Structure 1
Amino acid sequence: MTAPTPRQARISIIGAGPGGLTCARILQRQGIAVTVYDRDPDRDARNQGGTLDLHADNGQIALREAGLLDDFFRLCRPEGQENRILHIDGELRAHLVPDDGELFKPEIDRGQLRDLLLDSLTPDTVRWGHGLTGLSGPADGPRTLHFADGTTVETDLVIGADGAFSRVRPAVSPAVPQYVGVSFAEAWFHDVENQHPELSALVGQGSASAADGERALWGQRNSGNHIRVYIMRKVPVDWITRAGLQRDDTAAIRAHLLDEFAAWGPRMKHMITDNDGAYVDRPIFALPVPHTWEHNPTVTLLGDAAHLMPPLGVGVNLAMLDAGELALALAGSATVDEAVCGYESIMLPRSVETAKMLEGHAEDLLSGDLPPEFGDDDGQP
């Protein structure tokens, strides 16, 4: 098959997360048609998660190419860059406060960012209720997308932006994510100024965390008077069932967690005892390092589908940077094949280098040492 030009090609993005939507927005700004397929039944089907910090040297670059940077600055929370490191008794250990006008990595709720991107697209760009089950067809195209509802779509380029357990990835790579040994239990707190004033004061306008080398608590301010807490521990991936617990038995899980954090002070334990609703189990996975694949002219990946790493501050930023570079490569290339080659020649070395830097560092989230930006202290939790 002769490789089509990007403006003639049928381009399909799988996944309506920040990476997929950023790619779609920039393609449309460049006059290139695109369709996004997502498994959710509609845009409001589920909570989109916590807050994100978008960095000036990657995520914000993509938003500038998308023509949305000013809108982002109107929505973001620069005060969310505040960072408190606490002792396990809740006393302040170190404190970073952003300067006035500091916009290097302001926070925005994931849902707000998604809405900003969705509302920027032409109507009907996203096809909801399309969970990909696989794809078929020759490597040089066209490809056929197979969806859970039994429908199929023929396409010339498949862009896998469908996250950690991508259904597109097997078309180019046999790699599967592996558990890194650290798991988060996510807890939600609502109307915190009124219902959880002690936690609100402890966390401040940004985030507050403490760690003892084996476990950590990290509270993060979200918009709308909400806080999310991540209870981090080095545990087996199936720790709930191994402990004889049921996922929906919040009281029993709370008792188990309190036993693990027995040495911690009561101010910190509020992060475990006072949450509104159930805990959400979030084991952390990463792709093998290095993760690369042989070039395929009709399939490529971006974001976590391409380079899933531990959550150490780079994920969404790299996904959006990938998205912008892929979209601009398509806009500036004679063929889809040429564009994918050009994009992967930049993205893959960058992602491999970053993944090597982060490999094995998930346990740093549990370390009692101060992060480098805080300088040194006695190293005690």
Structure 2
Amino acid sequence: MNRILFITAFPPNKLTAGQNYSKELLSLLSEDYNVDLIFFSYPNHEIEVNSKVNVLKKVNVSTVSKIYSWIHFPFLHPFFLLRFRFRLLFFLIKNAKNYKFLYFDFSQVFIYSPFLTKSVKILMCHDVIYQKFKRNRFFYFNPFNSLLLFTERYILKSADLLLTFSKKDQLLLKDNYGLNSSTINFFISDKIKFIDYSKITLSFKFCFFGAWNRPENAKGLNWFVDHVLPHLKHELKFEIIGPGLDGALISKIKDNKNIKYLGFLEDPYVKIAESQALIAPIFQGAGVKVKVIESLAVGTPVLGTEVAFEGIDNFYEGSFLLCNEAKDFISVLNKLEPISIDTKRDIQKTFEKSYQENKIKDLLVSLTK
């Protein structure tokens, strides 16, 4: 059986969409391959993988180690050095020949790829980092922009296979770097597949869903609470689903009867199915927003920004409600009519027709021909 070395920047688990993808992919690959795993630590995040996956190394992350790496590579952008360790590099150089595939998961670990030549290297671009940084408020005042573009191009060119989640990112890689890539789909949770609207009771509530330790999620939610929530009808209720909400924001909303923090839920999809819509006020970041995909898979429409919807094709008329400014969210929410079960079923069915299963196994086979 062929061997894969899977190197990921974060512990695979259910706590964020990207980490959950890693978890599900490891499970899929371990059916046909011997998979060894190297992962980097992250505060309050434990690893969740099946017994077939051999956990080879856990690498700790510290501020000192980040600074140390950048000092040794000042000609590369510091973002791509956050997970660089000389000891791990030497281990990979020594052992790479023992693996058919080296799978690098998240851009933070791509830095190792240019040093390795003995195996097929696969780089999974959860985001195009140049685009992610370009949306920062002070991007055009940052002297490291050219360095960022150079570093991402230099690293990505070392791949035998580049993977993305959308045609939008595929075009960005082609336009920015002249590189070809393949698109693959997210995994759809079995809990979503078994949503049965004959057993769902709709409420006139709206939900937010995400990992709230991610800056783009937290900033958008804070913005909504400050600029939209005070101007909405009193009967509109909101629920926040997901781990990592900042204590300051929890304190800000604790006395507001219209919005409630539910925290991490083992099965968030029933709550999303019960909701009128998912709210996605995202103004930064890059890549496909998995929560939008999952909401459509459940049958729940999304009120969101252009950033929230990018890379996603229109699935069903009325499933996307574009709101880029506070006045847009206020107007749409104050006028929104209750959604029907039939409309939710239509969104759900249309998504099912358009969704294709993850094809990474086929791509791996094609690399060996």
Using the size of structure 2 for normalisation, the TM-score is: 0.32
Between Structure 1 and Structure 2, the one with more strand by share is 1
Using the size of structure 1 for normalisation, the TM-score is: 0.31
Larger relative contact order (Cα-Cα within 8 Å, sequence gap ≥ 6): 1
Between Structure 1 and Structure 2, the one with more helix by share is 2
